[in-house]
Amino acid sequence: MTEPPASIPDDLPSAVPDHPRRKRLPFVWILPAVVIMAGAFVAIQQKLAQGPRVDINFLGADGIEANKTKIRYKDVEIGEVTDIHVSKDRKKVVVTARIHRDASEYLVQDTRFWVVRPRFTGGNVSGLGTLVSGAYISVDVGRSSVEQRSFEGLEVPPIVTSDLPGREFILRADDIGSLTVGSTVFYRHIAVGQVVAYALDPGGASVTIKIFVYQPYDTYVTSSTRFWQASGIDMSIDSDGVKLRTESLTSILEGGVAFQALPTEKSSRTVPADTAFTLFTDRERAMRQSDTEVRTFTCISRDRCAAYRWARPSICAALPSAR
């Protein structure tokens, strides 16, 4: 007689399947991964911030270096030079720069570029900060609405930028005298502007000088204003003795322009920008009153009055009776 099989106890543990464990990244790789992610983020940010490319033509590349020279507007960096090469005709140097995306609206038709370097002109010194930081390209944003990507760089910094309040006027003279770009414009011995440009007229008989007068002094330029060269010293001798007149020491050394309204002109009106004036050689000639007064008269004989009575009745009535 066989014995029945022994019963299986209920408290025996059941088999549990063993799942494969996930492999964990070693701690030593965490830091390189963070560095790679940060570098990728910076690269993406720079790519998104990149704006348009511009080409600026200069006569030379003195002080300009690729990937080092900055583009600045009001001393704020808005771009960087990326490449420098000689033009195909070998006459100029083409400076290629990348402008920040948020400054792309500055690239319009009348925007100007120039290299800021240490400059010593007459009594003016500029760009001394570049002795430490190096040369950079400055920008004067224009007012045009036409976009542009290629520019002719200025070899000399502009005297007046587009955001400076004031107005320009034109002076005409036989010669330029001792004036030059940057010469001071005076009003009652106060420096109120500068000479910004000059050019020889066609034919070479005279010169045209352009001046800029700052606000609010530009309102003193009226229809009765006279301009004269304030260079050197004016000396006159009369019953009161010897008189010496000069605007300032700067005008003696560098030349200058002065202006003032005629004292006898009671009614005068403000003139618009680019109004032309005569530039006299000295104050005495400028403030001199005109010796002649021009009037127009019509002469007609009485024997011809009958033929013209219908056109000039008042004249014929004023003629004396013929004898």
- Number of compact structural domains in the chain: 2
- Position 268 scores a pLDDT of 75
Q: Is 218 exposed, middle or buried (0-12, 13-18, 19+ CB in 10 A)?
A: buried
Whether 129 and 189 map to the same domain: the answer is no
Whether 82 and 189 map to the same domain: the answer is no
Name the pLDDT band for 207 (thresholds 50, 70, 90).
Answer: very high
For residue 157, being part of any structural domain is answered with no
For residue 314, being part of any structural domain is answered with no
171 pLDDT exceeds 90? yes
**Region 144-151: what's the mean pLDDT?**
94
SS3 307: helix
Whether 93 and 201 map to the same domain: the answer is no
- Boundary-marking domain end, from 97, 122, 152: 152
- Tens-place pLDDT, residues 70-125: 999 998 999 999 999 999 999 999 999 999 988 999 999 999 999 998 776 555 66
Q: Are 118 and 131 in contact (CB under 8 A)?
A: yes
Whether 85 and 136 map to the same domain: the answer is yes
State what percent of residues in the chain have pLDDT above 70: 68
- Boundary-marking domain end, from 125, 152, 179: 152
Whether 170 and 146 map to the same domain: the answer is no
Contacts 24+ apart (CB under 8 A), 97-101: 97/53, 97/54, 97/56, 97/71, 97/137, 98/50, 98/51, 98/52, 98/53, 99/51, 99/52, 99/53, 99/54, 99/71, 100/49, 100/50, 100/51, 101/48, 101/49, 101/50, 101/51
For residue 270, being part of any structural domain is answered with yes
- Tens-place pLDDT, residues 232-252: 555 555 556 555 555 555 555
Tell me which of 48 and 144 has the higher pLDDT.
144
Whether 145 and 190 map to the same domain: the answer is no
- Boundary-marking domain end, from 124, 152, 180: 152
- Tens-place pLDDT, residues 21-71: 666 656 667 778 888 888 888 877 777 667 899 999 999 998 899 999 999
- Position 231 scores a pLDDT of 73
Range of the domain at 259: 166-286
For residue 22, being part of any structural domain is answered with no
Whether 188 and 249 map to the same domain: the answer is yes
For residue 301, being part of any structural domain is answered with no
For residue 52, being part of any structural domain is answered with yes
- Position 215 scores a pLDDT of 93
Name the pLDDT band for 138 (thresholds 50, 70, 90).
Answer: very high
Whether 140 and 188 map to the same domain: the answer is no
**Region 180-202: what's the mean pLDDT?**
91
For residue 176, being part of any structural domain is answered with yes
Name the pLDDT band for 323 (thresholds 50, 70, 90).
Answer: very low
**Region 216-244: what's the mean pLDDT?**
76
Task: Mention every residue, 6+ apart, whose C-beta is less than 8 A from residue 57.
Answer: 87, 92, 93, 94, 95, 150, 151, 152, 153
- Position 322 scores a pLDDT of 42
- Position 186 scores a pLDDT of 93
Whether 80 and 178 map to the same domain: the answer is no
- Position 39 scores a pLDDT of 84
- Tens-place pLDDT, residues 277-322: 999 988 888 888 765 555 665 555 555 555 544 455 555 555 455 4
Task: Mention every residue, 6+ apart, whose C-beta is less than 8 A from residue 222.
Answer: 261, 268, 269, 270, 271
When mean pLDDT is compared across 1-15, 200-214, 271-285, the lowest value belongs to 1-15
For residue 260, being part of any structural domain is answered with yes
- Position 78 scores a pLDDT of 94
